[in-house]
Amino acid sequence: MISDLVSATEKIMNSFESNDQVKLRQLSNDLIEEAALKSDSVLAQLSLISYSLQKMLSKPHIIEAGKWIKIKSTIIFSLKKASDHLKNKNFNEFKKELDHISDKVFRVDASMGHYTANLYEKAKIKQASRAYAFGLSLMQAVNLTGANEKELLFYIGGTKIHDKEKSIKGINERKKLLEGIFNE
């Protein structure tokens, strides 16, 4: 499990460092699916971070700002520290570093964003919707991502993702994954 988290954290870091928005979005989607299957809030938080970083990279008013290089370096450094904490089996420090990154993304968007709805809060709604599409109940999706229940209901009502989203994994593959989790 720790090696999976290290790998996911490093993939996010490398994709962010190389401005690979497509990879960040794919990582986010893969992580929320796995988080939904395993009911794992840490994987969900990594998904939210990946999604938020991708969205930040897509905002010219953020990446063209004079502060961007320092902000990006700080986030990359924090992702590296998080990975190192995991490698040293220090899960509490890893989690604190993820919280620090989440807070940093929130603060950057609050100070530089153009909208009243914060990018990180939007990520919670979007990824909770995906978790719901993967079969979680509304409350499970809310608890997994920390999304606002009313906002999630409104979003789900206005999207067709839960109708379109098909899992790449079949039922047998999902069953084996869940059996593996419970047999650990």
pLDDT tens-digit profile of 117-137? Answer: 688 889 999 999 999 988 899
d(CA 156, CA 133): 9
Q: Cβ(145)–Cβ(124) under 8 Å?
A: yes
Contacts 24+ apart (CB under 8 A), 64-72: 65/112, 67/112, 71/104, 71/108, 72/16, 72/17
Tokens of 57: 């990279």
Give the model confidence (pLDDT) of 138-159 as tens digits.
999 999 999 999 999 989 887 6
Write out pLDDT tens, residues 51-96.
Answer: 999 999 998 988 888 899 999 999 999 999 999 999 999 999 999 9
User: How many structural domains is the chain composed of?
Assistant: 1
Give the mean pLDDT of 172-183: 65
Output the six-digit token pair for 137: 């109940």
Residue 174 has pLDDT above 70, yes or no: no
Is the Cβ–Cβ distance between 103 and 119 less than 8 Å?
no
Q: Please give the torsion angle defined by the CA atoms of residues 176, 27, 4 and 122, in that order, rounded to the nearest 10 degrees.
A: -100
Tell me which residue range forms the domain holding 127. Answer: 2-182
- The pLDDT mean for the chain works out to 87
Contacts of 80 (CB under 8 A, 6+ apart): 13
pLDDT-derived band at 165 (thresholds 50, 70, 90) equals: very low
Q: What pLDDT score was predicted for residue 168?
A: 55
More confident residue, 143 or 169: 143
Closest C-alpha among 65, 75, 70, 49 to residue 112:
65
